[in-house]
């Protein structure tokens, strides 16, 4: 497929007909905003406000291999996120590859997080994303740690791609035939980071990055996903780096399940389990130190 065909298919799959009884969407309002980029350009965002407000805010970075996906494909997921957490959610429509390869999507993601921090300064701020957006989220968290310009209360990483070499994905027993394939990931990386020499940079090769002093983290992985093993490795490395981490294993699920929660019951159950864990992290961060008593906090196994 061409890039445009891939984008159209991704969007159509994401907004396919849904159940009308999927609950909390109606309790959330949304309005589109514009965010200034570091290079003087701008990009869209969508700000979701829940009916029940717990004083939190989430900067959300959508998946789609840095190539597909946008704020429309992830509209339903962000509404669920806002309603479940009682959080304002800022969904960033960062510019995508191949028109805007690395580092533009990452720079836009960081600009979105700074905009969120300025616009909602008194709230507990979560940096979050799924798939490619989760990779960007870690990059933003690393930048915020090093610059000190944003204090994140937590990060949510759903099935993150963190190994540009695809070493883990190539040896996975689920490398082909389970929605996302290794060939898909190779295509995405070629478009996002066309210069192979850049793929060793810490913002991309996240398994070899210095992960110390990142915010408490919830990592969600899917069992039948070529990215599963590198997600597990990331959770382990976060724990060894003394970052409080909860790893939620999505048993029986494929990559992208966060967008399937209103049509696949098990996906919905696992997504809510992930959000409950994030809620617990935010509650504990309010009244206690953000450092866990031991480096690897918890693994939650899907049912």
pLDDT in tens, 110-155: 999 999 999 999 999 999 999 999 999 999 999 999 999 999 999 9
Given a cut of 70, whether residue 24 has pLDDT beyond it is no
Chain segment 4-19, per-residue pLDDT in tens: 999 999 999 998 756 5
Q: Of the residues 143, 163, 225, 262, which is catalytic? A: 225
Residue 25 pLDDT greater than 80, yes or no: no
Q: Which listed residue (45, 84, 131, 172) is catalytic?
A: 131
The β-bridge relationship of strands 124-130 and 217-224 is unpaired
Question: What pLDDT does residue 116 have?
Answer: 98
Split at pLDDT 50, 70, 90, the class of 290 is very low
39 is catalytic: no
pLDDT of residue 253: 98
* Confidence (pLDDT) at 230: 98
131 is catalytic: yes
Active-site choice (124, 255, 262, 279): 255
Please report the pLDDT score of residue 294 as a whole number: 36
Q: Is 255 a catalytic residue?
A: yes
């Amino acid at each position: 497929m061409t890039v445009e065909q891939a984008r159209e298919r991704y969007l159509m799959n994401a907004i396919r007909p849904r159940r009308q009884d999927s609950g909390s969407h109606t309790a959330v309002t949304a309005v589109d905003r514009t965010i200034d980029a570091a290079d003087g350009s701008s990009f869209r965002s969508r700000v979701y406000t829940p009916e029940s407000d717990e004083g939190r805010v989430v900067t959300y970075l959508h998946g789609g291999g840095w190539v597909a996906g946008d704020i429309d494909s992830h509209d339903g997921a962000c509404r669920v996120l806002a309603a479940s957490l009682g959080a304002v959610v800022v969904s960033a429509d960062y510019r995508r590859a191949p028109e805007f390869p690395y580092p533009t999507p990452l720079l836009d993601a960081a600009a979105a997080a700074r905009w969120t921090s300025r616009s909602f300064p008194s709230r507990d701020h979560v940096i979050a994303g799924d798939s490619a957006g989760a990779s960007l989220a870690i990059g933003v968290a690393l930048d915020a740690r090093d610059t000190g310009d944003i204090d994140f209360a937590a990060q949510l990483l759903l099935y993150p791609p963190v190994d540009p070499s695809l070493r883990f994905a190539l040896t996975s027993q689920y490398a082909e035939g389970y929605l996302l394939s290794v060939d898909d990931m190779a295509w995405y990386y070629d478009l996002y980071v066309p210069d192979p020499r850049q793929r060793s940079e810490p913002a991309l090769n996240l398994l070899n990055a210095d992960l110390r002093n990142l915010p408490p983290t919830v990592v969600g992985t899917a069992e039948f996903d070529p990215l599963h093993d590198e997600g597990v490795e990331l959770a382990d490395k976060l724990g060894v780096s003394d970052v409080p981490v909860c790893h939620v294993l999505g048993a029986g699920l494929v990559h992208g399940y966060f967008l399937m929660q209103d049509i696949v019951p098990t996906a919905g159950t696992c997504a809510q389990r992930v959000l409950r864990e994030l809620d617990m992290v935010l509650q504990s961060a309010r009244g206690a130190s953000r450092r866990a008593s031991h480096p690897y906090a918890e693994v939650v196994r899907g049912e």
